[in-house]
Structure 1
Amino acid sequence: MTEAVFRETTAEPHTRSVQLSHLSLELGHLYMEDFEAGPERLREHFAEVRLWVEAARASAARRGGGKRARISTCFLIDDYFTRFSTPAELVPLVLKEAEKAGLVIDYLARESGCAAADRIEIAESVMHRLVESPPPGSDGSRPPVGQTGWLANGRRTPAAGRAALGEVKGWQPPQETAARNHSVFMDVELFSEQDGRRLWSCPFLAAVWQLARLGLLRHLGEPVLTPQPWNGEDFPHDWDRLPPLLQLTPQAAAFSAYRTCTLMPNRFLAVEDAVRLILDQVQVDAGALAQVAERSAREGLAVPEAVAQRATYVFYEEPVNPPRAEGI
């Protein structure tokens, strides 16, 4: 005789899936300093980016066995660290200059949406998913990353002090946990405190942005930072009235993808190195990971197991005296 088993349906964990493109191609990740430099700066950026777009598309097609690749494009505007102009003035300018270069922006995002969106503290949620990799010899004396706001990829230089029997400890270098022959040690600031509120760093928000583009962000099993269709009306004069993520092209491929490729100035190289360090230590929603693995296998696509390896970049050389990459 078979015994019936009753369970509360609300007790069953469920992770809702999202549609996935083959590639999320970011056409810009610029800050207010870039926009302050005028339309010429945007024009120059898109002209340079245009040279690399076809190569990224060809690479995606090759990985897919020559089949037509599903590729969506996106563009991110900084409205978190500084606010310049208004969406009504800035967004049409971005779209116009992209069109002049022969580019189409499918999705437009506000960086503040990587901190919080739809009444969800997204950055805080990702912070709680960080799992620090304890380096050899750790004694647990250092406070966790949630308190310090710093995340490293290995053992920091020990503080000066005395060992047993009063022996003076000599200087010891930092050490990367997964070093090959020599260490490349990094210590990344994830947030600071200003006027009683937490200010997230650019690398941490960019890591959240990558997780969204890879379709791996969830809150209680539900996708977050999801695209909202734009109805074609004029853009608002207030940044807070602009949805965190807009779908500008009605028939665009899915926003999230198996892989991402970001085209950006080379001054952001250090920031994106820090992003990869963060991604390596985020415990991503297991259900979301399983869904990506299952669907990629069904499509015959190889997707790296490590989340950080799913993000690729093209860094281009900037003109002399570019806008500084600080304030990011």
Structure 2
Amino acid sequence: MTRPVPVFRESSAEPRTEALPFSHLSLEIGHLYMEDIVEGPERLRRHFATVRPWVDAVRSGLGTSHTGTRPRVSTCFLIDDYFSRLAPPHELLPSLVQEAARAGLTLDYLARESACATAPAGAREVIHPAESVAARLVESPPPASSGFRPPVSRTGWLSNGRRSPAQRTSAALDPTTAVWHPPTETGARGHSVFMDVELWNETAGQRTWSCAFLAAVWQLVRLGLLRDDGRTILKPVAWQGPDFPEEWDALPAVLQLNPRAAPFTAYTTCSVLPGRFLPVEHAVRVILDQVHVEQGPLEQTAQRSAAEHVDVPAGIADRVSYVFPPGL
């Protein structure tokens, strides 16, 4: 009779996935450039007045959850402090909060876009969410791919299909006999809608993440699908008030303005955005379709939603929805 052999594992080899609370929906009621906000209260007033009926429509469209309870919805607003910082938060944010309230909107969470690139994770520690997501990109190989295309880790470009050839196919390089092939979308239905997305560029060794890539990180954060060795990243910090700080870096990555807010992370997201963001959000979906998400967060979402009898799409990009109101 053989005796069982004990197996020892390092606990650090299997990091525990920190549990998160979930709303049914994370509703983004604004994502403005710094240039928009510095225009003043009138600009913000127009924005929230236009957004308000669409926010009401999204909420009413949820009805009641399968458990018969009122759906948990949290609202958020993303500030672009990554590409420009034209004014400090203590000058800009009071009018933002006031104008949202004037329109009858409750602003639960305020987030900084720069935190999707680099954010504090402790007294002396920082994390790099964008780098973490970039390391998890798994390109979808297009049909009949030859492997000629350099990987996204080298180029910083990600597509949803097969690009046009980058070199002539004629052996003699004769332009009169060169063959051109159109780009094709992977999984196209009838006709292709091909997209090539720039994720970052570099100048003098300094990497600048694209708006589309940071927006993809933002969606993953709201869906509760990003972790750092199992730990939650960009965890909301309660606002101590009454004044906002004088420096953007002194503002928490995600600031909880409403103490009674539903959880920041949610099973699904919806963003009410100006139409100019439509191509950016198309790019976001291309990115989300090619991100390998850790199994721990995926299982946590699946278990929680199943316990509440809430159907959550299997595809990450399918958990994200948008409203593009006219005139916004």
- Do both share a fold (TM > 0.5)? yes
Q: 1:223 maps to what in 2? A: 232
Deviates more, 1:63-72 or 1:230-239: 63-72
Structure 2 counterpart of 1:177, from 186, 206, 220: 186
Secondary structure at the aligned position of 1:24 is classed as strand
| 1:191-270 pair list within 5 angstroms | 191-270=200-279
Contact 1:20 1:255 in 2 (8 A): yes
Q: Give the equivalent residue in structure 2 for 1:150.
A: 157
1:41-56 equivalences under 5 Å are 41-56=43-58
Aligned residues: 319
Report how far residue 159 of structure 1 moved: 2.1
Query: Is the 8 Å Cα contact of residues 26 and 266 (structure 2) preserved in structure 1?
Result: yes
**RMSD between aligned alpha carbons?**
1.6
Find the residue that maps to 1:215 and give its secondary structure. coil
Displacement after TM superposition at 1:124 (Å)? 0.6
For structure 1, which runs of at least 5 residues remain unmatched after alignment?
320-328
Q: Once the 2 structures are TM-superposed, how far is the Cα of residue 109 of structure 1 from its aligned partner?
A: 0.4
Deviations 1:2-25 (A, max 9, x none): 554333222233211211100101
Output the CA distance in 1 between the equivalents of 2:220 and 2:291: 10
Stretch moving more, 310-319 or 41-50: 310-319
* SS across alignment from 1:40: helix
Match of 2:123 in 1: none
Q: Give the 5 Å matches for 1:58-207.
A: 58-62=60-64, 64=66, 66-118=68-120, 119-163=126-170, 168-207=177-216
After TM superposition, the structure 1 stretch with the greater mean CA deviation from structure 2, 151-160 or 8-17, is 8-17
Secondary structure class of the residue paired with 2:119: coil
Q: Which residue of 2 aligns with 1:323?
A: none
Residue type matched to 2:321 in 1? T
Do the aligned residues in 2 keep the contact of 1:63 with 1:301 (CA within 8 Å)?
A: yes
Amino acid at match of 2:205: G
Please say if residues 169 and 179 of structure 2, whose CA atoms lie closer than 8 Å, have aligned partners that are also in contact.
no
Corresponding residue for residue 322 of structure 1 = none
**What's the % identity of the aligned pairs?**
59
The aligned counterpart of 2:303 is: 294
* Aligned position for 2:8: 6
Q: Distance in 2 between matches of 1:227 and 1:204?
A: 21
d(CA) in 1 for partners of 2:6 and 2:209? 50
Aligned to 1:326: none
Separation (CA, whole Å) in 2 of partners of 1:174 and 1:65:
46
CA shift, 1:221, in A, is 1.3
Secondary structure, counterpart of 1:75 in structure 2: strand
Note closer, same or farther for the CA distance 1:251–1:157 as it changes in structure 2 (3 Å cut): same
Separation (CA, whole Å) in 1 of partners of 2:220 and 2:56: 24
| Residue type at the aligned position of 1:277 | V
Check conservation: 1:130, 1:283, Cα contact below 8 A: yes
Alpha-carbon distance between aligned partners in 2 of 1:113 and 1:166, rounded to the nearest angstrom: 48
Question: Whole-Å Cα distance in 1 between the matches of residues 42 and 227 of structure 2?
Answer: 39
Cα-to-partner distance string for 1:37-69 (whole Å, 9 max, x where unaligned): 321111011011110112111222345465201
CA deviation map 1:273-311 (0-9, x unaligned): 111110000001111011101111110000000000101
Q: Which amino acid aligns with 1:276?
A: R
C-alpha distance in structure 2 between counterparts of 1:161 and 1:4, whole Å: 61
